[in-house]
Amino acid sequence: MRTVLFVMLSILTTGMQVNAGQDKAEQQPTTLLALSEAGQTRLIDIQVSVDHLPYDKYWTKTFDALFNFADCNSDGVLSEAELRLVPSARAVRLSLGSAFTPPVASLQSLKEIVADETQKCSREQLKQYYLSHGAGRLQIGSGKLTNTAAITAALIQTLDTDKDGILSQVELQNAETALRRLDTNDDELIGVGELVPNATYPGTWAARALRPATEVDLSSTNENRLVLKQLLTRPADPSMEKSLWQINIADQLADQPLKVATNAQCKSWSVPGPQKELFHELREEIANAAAEPPEESTGNSSRNRRSSRAWLTPLADRDSDGKLSQQEIDRWLELQKQLIHGQLLISVYYGGGLFELLDTNHDAGLSIRELRSAWQILDSASCTSENHADLTRVPNVVLFVVSQGYPQSLARTSTPEVEWFRLMDRNRDGDVSRREFTGSPAAFDRLDQDHDGLISPDEAGKAN
């Protein structure tokens, strides 16, 4: 898995950083995006902070930590010998998917960083090396939702019970009943794979890098062309519509939703990435590994490589004695923790349709509540006409998903405060159904205050 992620993420080397101001009115963007449609351009100002520091300042602090780690004699410059402890820019970028800087593309000489190889590397030169090679930048990738047409066709075929080619209000209000028979795994969700056998979601990774000044066509059809572009400078046009997307990393990743008005429906949210889990696995792997590989190790067996931490020695052996002390290991791990804490990926998925409109939490399954709300969702999106759905009005749904590390799921989940609710919500759809509830029927009826057969987080909270 790590090797696959290294390959995919190495192409995501985009981003632009400028200094962030002290207050909201003066803040400068981490990245500027332009969303153009029908001759109108809307500016998206993405502002990122990490531990209350602007994104660029956090990475300056991280580059300083990398420099200090490699500067073993503390003379303020890096020699050719100390350079072996400096991870390459590619390794720093790959840490987005691996939770550590892997031993790849190692720096071979000072010539890769400084123009005059007789010089030693300064702190500022190391920083500029990383930035010029895309490390420490906000990474943005795009990808098309490939199964949209097939999923839409499957939904229409199942919901259109009278087979007249029109989805009526009554048919949509009966969506729960109509689709229930497709729930083959009996989890009270109608998943993508149950609508279209063997289909996966999102079906592709957002691995096409968004590079400065390069356009990405987010259109789902030839009509209503929607183009996304990353800007190097803020446009001078004061009349341009502006939208702010604030993203904050502290103990957890959080964001204030992006609000941008287009013919497409743009949705944004943050999801937990796999970074913390991967880093925990790395720490355990290193702690349990032998200092040297077994003598009987032969070939390229991954099991033999994993049984030893010999690969770590050239990366963390600061005193050059050929062995790793616990202090060296701990310091290297702390550096990796700082590196991955500031890694951020924005995945832009486009070409969504009916399914993405109904799947409001984007967990790749239609829940009971989402099915019951199908008509209301379409009506609020102006996709209805009198007593039937007008599917020609279903917008191109564009998803902006931010994560620390490559997202394993796009699910937009909230963590309820109530512990029993979190444990009982086995399918993670945000409700506890009667089947999921482990208490008595009388207790369920007491908690289900609106008597809709589902206990919502609000109802659970009121009961505490």
* pLDDT tens profile 238-253: 788 999 999 999 988 9
Q: pLDDT class for 19, splitting at 50, 70, 90?
A: very low
- For 332: left if phi > 0, alpha if psi spans -120 to 50, otherwise beta; the answer is alpha
The number of C-alpha atoms within 13 Å of 163 and in the hemisphere containing its C-beta is 0
**Which of 40-54, 161-175, 220-234 has the weakest average pLDDT?**
220-234
Instruction: Please say if the pLDDT value at position 381 is more than 90.
Output: yes
User: What is the pLDDT, as a whole number, of residue 451?
Assistant: 94
Q: How far apart are CA 446 and CA 356, in angstroms?
A: 33
82: left (phi over 0), alpha (psi -120 to 50) or beta: alpha
pLDDT of 111 over the 70 cut? yes
Residue 452: CB atoms within 10 A of its CB come to: 13
Cα–Cα dist 13/375, whole Å: 42
Which of 278, 350, 288, 290 minimizes the C-alpha distance to 323?
290
C-alpha to C-alpha distance for 321 and 11, rounded to whole angstroms:
36
Interval 254-266: pLDDT, tens: 999 899 888 899 9
pTM metric for this prediction = 0.85
Local confidence band at 444 (pLDDT 50, 70, 90 cut-offs): very high
Question: What angle in degrees, to the nearest 10, is found between the helix axes of 55-70 and 123-132?
Answer: 120
Worst-scoring range by mean pLDDT, 33-47, 125-139, 149-163, 211-225?
Answer: 211-225
| Residue range 285-299, pLDDT digits in tens | 999 887 655 555 444
Is the per-residue pLDDT at 66 higher than 60? yes
Residue 415 has pLDDT above 80, yes or no: no
What is the C-alpha to C-alpha distance for residues 34 and 291, in angstroms, rounded to an integer? 51
Tracing tokens 């050719």 back to the chain, one arrives at 80
106-120, 272-286, 443-457: the lowest-pLDDT one: 106-120
> Where does the pLDDT of residue 89 fall: very low under 50, low under 70, confident under 90, or very high at 90 and above?
very high
Report the alpha-carbon angle 286-289-292, nearest 5. 115
In this structure, how many other beta carbons lie within 10 angstroms of the beta carbon of residue 287?
Answer: 11
Q: How confident is the model at residue 20 (pLDDT cuts 50, 70, 90)?
A: very low
CB atoms within 10 A of CB 230: 23
- Other C-beta atoms lying within 10 Å of the C-beta of residue 205: 16
Question: 408 and 428 in contact (C-beta within 8 Å)?
Answer: no
Residue 326, pLDDT above cutoff 90: yes
Give, in order, the Cα–Cα distances in Å from 293 to each of 69, 167, 287, 296, 307.
26, 64, 14, 8, 7
Q: What is the pLDDT of residues 137-186, one digit of tens each?
A: 999 999 999 899 999 999 999 999 999 999 999 999 999 999 999 999 99
**How many CA atoms within 13 Å lie on the side-chain side of 20?**
26
Residue 11 has pLDDT above 60, yes or no: no
